[in-house]
Structure 1
Amino acid sequence: MECTKCGRELKDKKSKERGYGPVCWEKEKECPHCGGEMNVDMSDGPVTANCDDCGYERVLF
């Protein structure tokens, strides 16, 4: 399995569950609009991220 963002091979279980390696995961958690931390919801359906600071929301995968 490969990282959704950079395409590198995912090695550990947690990364495979998220679909992102640890470096790319940290980058995905930063809001591109305000720099705040994105809250990631991996509970059901598509994985989404939203920012409490500015309200920005996106689907990660």
Structure 2
Amino acid sequence: MNSHSTTPFSANLSHDEIAKRAYDIWEACGRPADKEHEHWTRAERELSKDRQQADECRSSFGDKCR
């Protein structure tokens, strides 16, 4: 999973964050072959959504969000 380009979802995410999530997705799906790109983009979307929700929580509730 080294040759992935940056997408709008990955702008504020590190390569290592995306790689770990993509690996977890790959394992959860039974380690299928030829699904690297699908797992990578899914990881980007999930992490981006998580980050956005955390940012929204912090902007609404400050330090009460974790």
More helix by share: 2
TM-score with structure 2 setting the length:
0.28
TM-score with structure 1 setting the length:
0.30
More strand by share: 1
